[in-house]
Amino acid sequence: MHPCRVPSKVTSLHRWLIAAALTFTPYLKAGQAAPAGQPAKAATGDDEAVMLSPFMVETTQDRGYQAMSTLGGSRLKTNLKDVASPTSAFTEQFLRDLGLTNLEELAPYMLSTELEFNEDIGGNARLAGNAGVQETSRSMRMRGLSGGTVSVNFFKSPTVRFDTFNTERIDQSRGPNSVLFGVGNPGGSINVSTKRAVVGDQRGSLALTGRSYDGWRYELDANQPIVRNRLAVRIVTAKEDTSTWKDFEYDQSERYYGTLKWRPLPRTELNLDVEDSSIDRKTDQPYVAGDDYTLWASLGRVISATGGAATGQSSSGATTGLVFDSNAGTLADWRNRTYGARRVSVDGQAVALRDFSVLPRQTSIRGPGTYVRQNYHRMSAFLTHSFPGNIDLEVGATRTDEHYNNSRDDEDALRVDTSPLLPTGVANPNAGRAFLQGTASRRFRDSRTDGARAMLAYRLDAGRWGKHLLAGGYEFNFYKEAFVVVGDYVISPNAPNLSMPEHTQNAISYRTYVDLNGPSKNIRYADPSLRPLSGLREEVTGRVYETAWIPLNNNTRLNSNEGTTSTWMLQSSFWRDRIKTIVGGSHDRRDDYFSTQGRRPLAGFAQGIRYAIRSHTPDFTAASGLSFSGVFHASPWLALTYSNAQNSALPPLALIDGPKGGGMRTPTPKGRSQDYGLKLDLLQRRLFLTATYFRTASQKEYAAAGGGTGSMTSTINVIWDGLDAAGVLTANGIALGDVRGVAVGETSDGETSGYEVELTANLTENWRTYANFSDETTKRTNIGREAQAYFANFRPLFERYPNVPVAGGGTVVSQLARVDVADYTTHVVADGRRPQGQIQRKANLRTNYEFTTERLKGFSIGGGFRYFGRPVIGYYASGTATTGVKRLLFEGPEQVFLDLSAGYRRRLSEILGRKVQWSLQLNVNNALNNDDLVPIRRASDGELVFYRFNAPRSWMLTNRFMF
């Protein structure tokens, strides 16, 4: 796409907004910036001269990559030189120079921060590693602990994919100090400050960007004063359609943001914001596919009805079998048929396929019909007022409504059909052919998040006793959600199993035969939404089934909560401003309403279709925090810092396995951190450097169970199902639903220590630089104690019935052995080690220089590198829990990326009476094309379990018009 051409996909509303911006009238008398035909005036600074609220920062004072002040250290405006708690600020100029448009792209540049690929989940870690395909963005770790909680203007936000189109500043707070005012967790948090209207200046910009893989994006930002120094409105919008190097991956969004500023009085300001965004995204798992193919191929490609380990074959067994052949459009019962065996590691982990002659690297087996879609609407209002007597007030409120819809296939493996006969008994024409098969599911979430707060601050100059700013705040929050996961099941009275409609024997699996010699884009699942829902005839029995998408598990819920946060803080300055301190505390309370489930009758079934029942009985939880930080300015260029923070945070809205079965709420996590540092302010404030040594720890930190505790619990559930089928539970007066594990999550303790260094510099007016480095070591302890207690509580019952048969051909006693292996691997061996996925050392450097000589005036060059050290990708363990465990870590390779940029800018002739500045910027990311396969997890014998790829070289070319 030509970078100066407006894409044809732009909607009529977007075309209207662009036209309106380019014809912005300069004749509105009250808001006129300059008479027609004369240059537009620069910003006068009236905004800053009128409003001096301690609850707001002036981003107009930012210089290049240097932010002058922040709210991230104490929730009160503070000069970054005077903040001891670990805080980084990323300015709009930084985001623009690097072409960053979302938090996932920014994360690699943040200190002590990593994107989460679920590397540290045990059991079937490969399947856990693709959990990111269910959301619009990946979660993060900070300082090796759970982190990345996002707030917008310091209101905690739901899980939406943020975009920088309406962002003025992004602040990162690391450690539990970020929980001080109701947002965050032990690792840290991120706050996004949105753009505000400017009453003192008429301005606007239009950016058109072309990208690799036929991607494009445009942004429009137009600010219009209505009444000079009193009233202004700002409209910002963005639309993009991008793809990646992988088949079928895309990211489409359409976003609108409007904000109004009104100053009815010199000391009173009202800001109203509204945002509406629509996101449609598809991201596949980081590896090409699971491997249920190459073991069979390496053992002779045997076609057999019985098969076995010697031929690399498995049997589908007698429990599941309804398969819809997407190629033939037929339904058949494929129970007890053979297919290629799954390749597993020596310790039982499913292995990803890595023979790229079978599947090319760019293959995305989840084709059209799988997606993540999210629409959200946010409204906010903020009123600030300064009273006589040095008293300041802020009142704010926000509401976010979100609709989330995810469609996906729940299996990721390439398989091969090794059955010589079809279920009908005739010769199988697809014998030896590769196929993809799995059940499909859809996830729906509708949520509402409300927040309202009031903060009051009092400034006191006590002379020799210092200057002080005392503030207190109170916030109310409300959240409710309706969430459901549905699957495709037979619901007619002639279903294979009539105990309940979502029984595994009633599930419809989708099979798509693929040609491995054809184009990679044809190696994908067929779209499950194209299959008819009724009138399906099963070819073996002749039964005609009616199917439907119905709730399939405990995730059908109607949960809600309401809570309050009260805070206090005191900023003080002593000894002629050489000592700066911040002390504060918080108290959080939340009432959670966890829904239960009922069943609606369904003809023919013993149990009907699940539905959620909203609870009216709250589950109370509370948390508190206390923080102190101090800065000693030893000289005008050197400051020493210390920060000590501890908190107990509100737990996530999730359940874990209780010791006596069922689910219990997640315990209250705790965090603590000590940070020692120094700050250097050199070259007349042109170079600013912060260096910190820290020790950060967490207790009862929640993590999704995934393949770790989840694998252990699912292994125990096989025993429960066997005992239930044998009548043991009924004989003992036990209801299956009361004891069967839920495996939603687990807790652990963590501790990280290390160093962080950050530098921002504007060495000259036209040269800006950013650099950082972190070196940290994390260890995890007390992993999954709740799951271990759950297993220990019921083990005596299991041992009383050792010979009861269970699914898979074993007995209770043989299944207990599998549980012991899962428990040992997931909990005992893992305890005390560095978590998998952690990268000890990371570094970034970014710089941009604009020439001023006559011949090169207007041209700029820039670039930098990103360095990621050797990640932990596995461990070998020997010994037992009794004799002690010896561990040897496997580490992955280092990764280095070089990024380059070049630009040109100049002033254009007047357009419609306004001066217009035009810039052209080219960004090339990963210029050396480091597209390596990056190991994520290795088994105990060193075998690669799963992996990801570095994104290859990419470019973006941006035309920007500023008027």
pLDDT at 706: 52
In sequence order, the 6+-apart residues with CB closer than 8 A to the CB of 696 are: 143, 145, 174, 175, 176, 186, 187, 671, 672, 673, 751, 752, 753
How far apart (Å, rounded) are the C-alpha atoms in residues 216 and 218? 7
- In the predicted model, residues of the chain with pLDDT beneath 50 are 1-10, 12, 15-51, 122-132, 179, 707
- Find all residues with CB under 8 Å of 687, minimum gap 6, and list them: 680, 681, 759, 760, 761, 763
Coil, strand or helix at 176: helix
**Structure-block tokens of residue 202:** 């008429």
Question: Residue 278 is inside which H or E element, if any?
Answer: strand 268-282
Q: Is the dihedral of CA 283, 287, 288, 290 positive or negative?
A: negative
CA atoms of 191 and 178, how far apart (whole Å): 10
Residue found under tokens 């970020």 = 178
- Cα–Cα distance for residue pair 942/723, rounded to 1 Å: 37
How far is 929 from 925, CA to CA, in rounded Å?
A: 8
Contacts of 677 (CB under 8 A, 6+ apart): 84, 86, 640, 641, 642, 643, 690, 691, 692, 693
Name the token pair of 228: 């000079």
Q: If we measure between CA atoms, which residue out of 649, 477, 449, 625 comes closest to residue 563?
A: 477
Q: What residues have CB less than 8 Å from 378, skipping those under 6 apart?
A: 152, 273, 274, 275, 276, 398, 399, 400, 401
CA gap 792, 659 in Å, rounded: 8
Tokens of 940: 């105990």
Residue found under tokens 């004063």: 225
Q: Identify the three-state secondary structure at position 584.
A: strand
Burial call 520-546: b when 16+ CB within 10 Å, e when fewer: beebbbbbbeebeeeebebbeeebebe
What's the longest Cα–Cα distance across the chain?
Answer: 97
DSSP one-letter code for 538: B
Q: How far apart are CA 584 and CA 569, in angstroms?
A: 4
Of 251, 241, 220, the closest CA to residue 7 belongs to: 241
Listed residue (655, 653, 632) closest to 642, CA to CA: 632
Calculate helix-pair angle for 785-799, 812-823, nearest 10 degrees. 160
What gap in Å lies between CA 925 and CA 844, rounded to an integer?
Answer: 13
The alpha carbon of 59 is separated from its chain's Cα centroid by a whole number of angstroms, namely 27
In this predicted structure, what is the pLDDT of residue 879? 65
Confidence (pLDDT) at 178: 55
Report how far residue 13's alpha carbon sits from residue 876's, in angstroms, rounded to the nearest whole number.
Answer: 59
Q: What is the DSSP string of 393-426?
A: EEEEEEEEEEEEEEEEES--EEEEB--SB-TTSS
Residues 708 and 823: their CA atoms lie apart, in Å, by: 9
Residue 319: HSE in the Cβ half-sphere, 13 Å Cα cutoff: 9
CA nearest 573: which of 562, 582, 586, 584?
582
DSSP label of 940: T
- Return the structure tokens found at 58: 């002036």
What is the separation of C-alpha 359 from the centre of its chain, rounded to a whole number of angstroms? 28
861 vs 859: CA distance, rounded Å:
7
Single-letter amino acid, residue 231: L
From residue 760, how far is each of 100, 687, 769, 918, 925 by CA, in Å?
Answer: 18, 6, 6, 27, 21
The two tokens of residue 438 are 């799995």
Phi and psi torsions of 128, nearest 5°: -65, -30
pLDDT of residue 59: 63
The identity of residue 691, as a single letter, is: A
Length of the chain: 963
